[in-house]
Amino acid sequence: MDSRTLINDASAHVSRPPLRILLVRFGAMGDIIHALPAAAALRAAYPAAQMDWLVETRWRALLEPSRDREGVVHLIDHVVSLDTFALRRNLSSSDSWSTLCALVGQLRANHYDIAVDLQGAIKAAVACRLSGAPRVVGFSRNKGYARNGGFAQPWLRESVAGVFYTREVESNARHIVDANLDLAGAVIAAIQLTQAVQPGSPESKALDAPPRRVVFPLPLGDTDQLPPEIPTSGFAVMNPGAGWRSKQWSNTSFAAVCDALVSQHDIPTVLNCGPGERGLSEQVLTACTTARPIIFCGDIPALIALLRRARLMIGPDTGPLHLAAALGVPTVGLYGPTDPERNGPYGPAVRSLRWPDAHTSYRHDEPSDGSMDAITPAMVLAAIEELGLFF
């Protein structure tokens, strides 16, 4: 983030029509969270712009209005959602095609000036192009070089997506949050070029302003959905589920940490489970010898409320882990096939554990290489102690 081009003065845009920006990132939870700082940077640059976000229906709650000490944070004007899972199940049906046509019509009616693909996938790039925006920006198909001299993996997930862009952006960032901020900076620079910024003007001076801090504008959550047995503070949250089997940590290891937290440090545990994951939490509960963790299954607003109360979060590379880190909760990430330097929890108090010889893969069907089993409960407890949570 050493060269962010963020604009703090919106006065130069008063005489122009409001800028219209479309952001596209369908999912998943952690990826949307990691794109929020880029959206915040664009909003800081253009507070009067209309900025919309096209997202998978089940994640739209992450983009609801957020609040800070001054009140409601204005980030996204309109959240446009699409149930891509339902479409794929019935792609040949007339209802599915009617839904797609209606979506394209809705997007085109907004007359976007620029569309930004924050996903790097074909479906997101096509959506950007179908929006009718004359400028479509996404990551470059080139790999580039990392700042430490190593060869960097391309941020564009599907190279074919690049053919739909009018501008490709290279990033040497190591983490996806910083790469997304590079993308936002390039979008701002491109807009400035088209708006003919004059040297010495307030706009050009604003381009040289120091970078803003990374912020994750997130909703407050819904405390009314939390069951009464959930403590108001002082508890740990663990997430046994991981989406991919190769990213899961053993139930007995989770249980061992639950037991140690309650017996040695008087810290109770709440086990969070997503859809279809309750069985994993029940297995952890059964494996506990002294702890009696609470099993929690809730929607996104309830999960946000839960994490805002939490003292600690422990889990594999999955959405709730990244949500906790973004909310500022001390977080310990357990990593196997995925690389925490690229996709680790991003926040003020995080630790990521990974076996040095772990094989990096982002394939959901990749068999386990045993790297998750190499992480021991003792290592997790040591990481928690490093975070200063034992006193």
Pairing of strands 66-68, 71-73: antiparallel
C-alpha distances in angstroms, 144 versus 43, 147, 344? 28, 10, 21
**Which CATH superfamily includes the segment(s) 11-207?**
Glycogen Phosphorylase B; (3.40.50.2000)
pLDDT value at residue 67: 65
pLDDT in tens, 118-165: 999 999 999 999 999 999 999 998 754 444 444 455 799 999 999 999
Q: Taking Cα atoms as reference points, which of 1, 265, 319 lies closest to residue 333? A: 319
367-387 average pLDDT score: 96
Is residue 218 over pLDDT 50? Answer: yes
> What architecture (CATH level 2) is domain 223-386?
3-Layer(aba) Sandwich (3.40)
Rounded Cα gap, residues 115 and 136, in angstroms = 5
pLDDT value at residue 195: 65
pLDDT band at 191 (very low <50, low <70, confident <90, very high): confident
193-204 average pLDDT score: 53
Residue appearing with tokens 């993308």: 183
CATH topology match: 11-207 vs 223-386: yes
Provide the percentage of residues in the chain whose pLDDT is more than 70: 86
**Domain locations in the chain as residue ranges:** 11-207, 223-386
In the 8-state DSSP scheme, what is residue 110? T
pTM: 0.90
